[in-house]
Structure 1
Amino acid sequence: MIWLISALLLALPVLAVQPVRWQQRTFEEFAAGKGAGVEIRAEGAVQLAPALEELPKLEAERIWSLAGGPDGTLYAGTGDLGRIYALPSKGNPVLLFDSPELAIHSLVVGPDRALYAGTAPDGLIYRIDAKGQVSTLAQTRSAYVWDLKFDGRGKLFAATGQPARVLSISMAGVVDTLCTLGDQHVMSLLFHQEHLYAATARAGRIYEIADTTARLLCETGYEEVHRLTALEDGTLYATALSQATEDQKSKSALFRIDPKGAALALWQAEETQLLDLLVDEDGTLLATAAQPAQLCRFAGDGRLSLVARFEDFAPSSMARLPSGALCLGASQSGGLYRLGAAFAGEGRLDSSVEDFGVYARWGNLRWKAELPAGTRLAFQTRSGNSQEPDPTWSAWSAELEQNGSTLSSPPARFLQYRALLRSAAGSKTPVLLGVDIAALPANLRPEIKSLEVQTYQPPGQSEDQAQGGPPLRGRRPPQRKSLRLLRWQALDANSDKLSYTLYIKSEGQRAWKKAEEGLEQSSFIWDTETMPEGLTKLRLVATDLPDNPAAQALEAEQLSAPFLIDNSPPDLALEVEKGEPLRLRLRCTDRISPLQRAQYTVDYGDQAQQLSPEDGLFDGQEEYARFSVEGLAPGEHVIAVQVWDRLDNVGTVQLVIQIKP
Structure 2
Amino acid sequence: MLVSSVMVMGLCCGAMAQGTKLWSVDRYDDLAKGSSDGVAIRSDGRLEAGPATSLLYTTGGSYVWSVAVDAAGDGYAGLGGTTSGSAVVMKIAPDGKAAKVFEGTEFGVQALRVLADGSVLAATSPDGKMYRVSADGGAATVLFDPATTEEKPKYLWDVATIGDNVFVATGAPAVVYRVPKGGGKAEVLFRTTDQHIRCLLATADGMLWAGSDGSGVIYRIATMQPGAKPFAVYAATKREITALAADAAGNIYAAGVGAKGASSLPPLPVTGNVGVSITFVQAGSAAAASTNTVVPDGSEIYKIAADGAPSKLLALKDDVVYALAVRNGALLAATGNRGRVYRVDTAMPGRFTDVAHLEATEGMAFAAVKDGLLVATSNSGKVFKMRDRVTSPAIYTSAVFDAQAFSQWGRAEVRSSSPAAFDLYARSGNVESPLMGWSEWMKVAPDAASVGVPAARFVQWKAVLREGATVDSVGLNYLQANAAPVVDEIVVQPGARVAATVGAQANTTVQVSFVAPTASSVPMFNVTPDTGPLAAQKDKTAMTVRWSAHDDNGDDLVYAVYYKGAGEVNWRLLKDKVSDKFLSFDASLLPDGSYTLKVVASDAPVHTDAMALTGDKVSEEFVVDTTPPVPGALVAEMQGNKIHARLEARDATSPIAHAEYSVDAGPWQYVEPAGKISDSLTEQYDFLAEISHVTGSVTDTKEHVIAVRVYDRYENVVAVKAVVRQ
Q: 1:319: how far off?
A: 2.6
1:239–1:275 Cα contact (<8 Å) kept: no
C-alpha change, 1:623 and 1:411, in structure 2 (3 Å) is same
Partners of 1:612 and 1:96 in 2: how far apart? 100
Q: 1:349: how far off?
A: 0.9
- The answer on 1:227 being equivalent to 2:243 is yes
What residue identity is the alignment partner of 1:378? D
DSSP 3-state at the match of 2:632: strand
Equivalent positions of 1:247-326 (< 5 A) are 249-251=293-295, 253-256=299-302, 258=304, 266-269=314-317, 273-283=320-330, 285-300=331-346, 301=349, 303-311=351-359, 315-321=363-369, 325-326=372-373
2:76–2:89 Cα contact (<8 Å) kept: no
Q: 1:525: how far off?
A: 0.5
Query: Aligned residue for 1:642?
Result: 709
Q: 1:206: how far off?
A: 4.9
Q: 1:333: how far off?
A: 6.7
C-alpha change, 1:197 and 1:245, in structure 2 (3 Å) is closer
Equivalent positions of 1:30-109 (< 5 A) are 30-53=31-54, 55=56, 65-67=66-68, 73-77=73-77, 82=89, 84=91, 87=94, 98=101, 106=111, 108=113
- The alignment of Structure 1 onto Structure 2 pairs a total of residues equal to 610
Equivalent positions of 1:555-594 (< 5 A) are 555-581=614-640, 582-594=643-655
Match of 2:490 among 451, 457, 467: 451
Query: Aligned residue for 2:450?
Result: 406
1:588–1:624 Cα contact (<8 Å) kept: yes
Query: Aligned residue for 2:475?
Result: 436
2:360–2:381 Cα contact (<8 Å) kept: no
Partners of 2:457 and 2:477 in 1: how far apart? 13
DSSP 3-state at the match of 2:609: coil
DSSP 3-state at the match of 2:709: strand
1:253–1:265 Cα contact (<8 Å) kept: no
What residue identity is the alignment partner of 1:30? L
Match of 2:668 among 608, 627, 637: 608
Query: Aligned residue for 1:527?
Result: 586
1:485–1:526 Cα contact (<8 Å) kept: yes
2:400–2:459 Cα contact (<8 Å) kept: yes
Q: 1:27: how far off?
A: 0.7
Query: Aligned residue for 2:274?
Result: none
C-alpha change, 1:530 and 1:214, in structure 2 (3 Å) is same
Query: Aligned residue for 1:654?
Result: 721
Partners of 2:100 and 2:290 in 1: how far apart? 41
Match of 2:145 among 141, 154, 163: 141
Partners of 2:560 and 2:580 in 1: how far apart? 11
Q: 1:447: how far off?
A: 1.7
Q: 1:306: how far off?
A: 1.4
Partners of 2:488 and 2:498 in 1: how far apart? 26
C-alpha change, 1:60 and 1:451, in structure 2 (3 Å) is closer
2:334–2:340 Cα contact (<8 Å) kept: yes
- The answer on 1:191 being equivalent to 2:202 is yes
C-alpha change, 1:72 and 1:171, in structure 2 (3 Å) is closer
Match of 2:465 among 421, 435, 438: 421
C-alpha change, 1:626 and 1:138, in structure 2 (3 Å) is closer
Q: 1:410: how far off?
A: 2.0
* TM-score for the superposition, normalised by structure 2: 0.72
1:60–1:81 Cα contact (<8 Å) kept: no
**For residues 254-299 of structure 1, what are the alpha-carbon distances to aligned partners after superposition, in whole Å with 9 as ceiling and x for unaligned?**
35375779797953555x553221134445x312234332322234
Partners of 1:20 and 1:296 in 2: how far apart? 34
DSSP 3-state at the match of 1:529: helix
C-alpha change, 1:332 and 1:658, in structure 2 (3 Å) is closer
Partners of 1:459 and 1:97 in 2: how far apart? 82
DSSP 3-state at the match of 1:406: coil
1:229–1:237 Cα contact (<8 Å) kept: yes
Q: 1:495: how far off?
A: 1.3
**For residues 65-98 of structure 1, what are the alpha-carbon distances to aligned partners after superposition, in whole Å with 9 as ceiling and x for unaligned?**
54566x78354355565454564xxxx6899994
Partners of 1:59 and 1:531 in 2: how far apart? 80
What residue identity is the alignment partner of 1:545? A
Partners of 2:361 and 2:659 in 1: how far apart? 86
Query: Aligned residue for 1:468?
Result: none
2:122–2:133 Cα contact (<8 Å) kept: yes
Match of 1:619 among 667, 679, 692: 679
1:63–1:76 Cα contact (<8 Å) kept: no
**For residues 303-324 of structure 1, what are the alpha-carbon distances to aligned partners after superposition, in whole Å with 9 as ceiling and x for unaligned?**
553111133696433233455x
Partners of 2:104 and 2:290 in 1: how far apart? 33
Match of 2:597 among 510, 518, 538: 538
Q: Where do 5+ consecutive residues of structure 1 fail to align? A: 1-5, 424-428, 461-477
**Which 10-residue stretch deviates more, 141-150 or 555-564?**
141-150
Query: Aligned residue for 1:19?
Result: 20
C-alpha change, 1:437 and 1:608, in structure 2 (3 Å) is same
**For residues 176-205 of structure 1, what are the alpha-carbon distances to aligned partners after superposition, in whole Å with 9 as ceiling and x for unaligned?**
422356788654212356642224579977
Partners of 2:675 and 2:379 in 1: how far apart? 89
Partners of 1:255 and 1:353 in 2: how far apart? 33
2:38–2:356 Cα contact (<8 Å) kept: yes
Partners of 2:255 and 2:395 in 1: how far apart? 32
Query: Aligned residue for 1:348?
Result: 395
1:293–1:311 Cα contact (<8 Å) kept: yes
1:7–1:366 Cα contact (<8 Å) kept: no
C-alpha change, 1:310 and 1:93, in structure 2 (3 Å) is closer
2:637–2:725 Cα contact (<8 Å) kept: no
DSSP 3-state at the match of 2:552: coil
What residue identity is the alignment partner of 2:132? I
C-alpha change, 1:187 and 1:118, in structure 2 (3 Å) is farther
Q: 1:580: how far off?
A: 3.7
Match of 1:167 among 161, 174, 177: 177
Coordinate RMSD, CA, aligned: 4.3
Partners of 1:419 and 1:45 in 2: how far apart? 12
2:497–2:544 Cα contact (<8 Å) kept: no
Partners of 2:679 and 2:57 in 1: how far apart? 94
Q: 1:371: how far off?
A: 0.7
**Which 10-residue stretch deviates more, 413-422 or 400-409?**
400-409
Q: 1:118: how far off?
A: 3.5
Match of 1:123 among 127, 130, 133: 130
Partners of 1:139 and 1:238 in 2: how far apart? 29
1:77–1:106 Cα contact (<8 Å) kept: no
2:49–2:465 Cα contact (<8 Å) kept: yes
2:487–2:549 Cα contact (<8 Å) kept: yes
DSSP 3-state at the match of 2:416: strand
C-alpha change, 1:601 and 1:341, in structure 2 (3 Å) is same
DSSP 3-state at the match of 2:483: coil
C-alpha change, 1:405 and 1:339, in structure 2 (3 Å) is farther
Q: 1:393: how far off?
A: 2.0
DSSP 3-state at the match of 1:524: strand
Equivalent positions of 1:331-342 (< 5 A) are 335-342=382-389
- The answer on 1:595 being equivalent to 2:676 is no
What residue identity is the alignment partner of 2:711? W
1:138–1:169 Cα contact (<8 Å) kept: no
Partners of 1:139 and 1:317 in 2: how far apart? 23
**For residues 129-166 of structure 1, what are the alpha-carbon distances to aligned partners after superposition, in whole Å with 9 as ceiling and x for unaligned?**
xxx79898972224887544344x67543445798653
Partners of 1:36 and 1:515 in 2: how far apart? 62
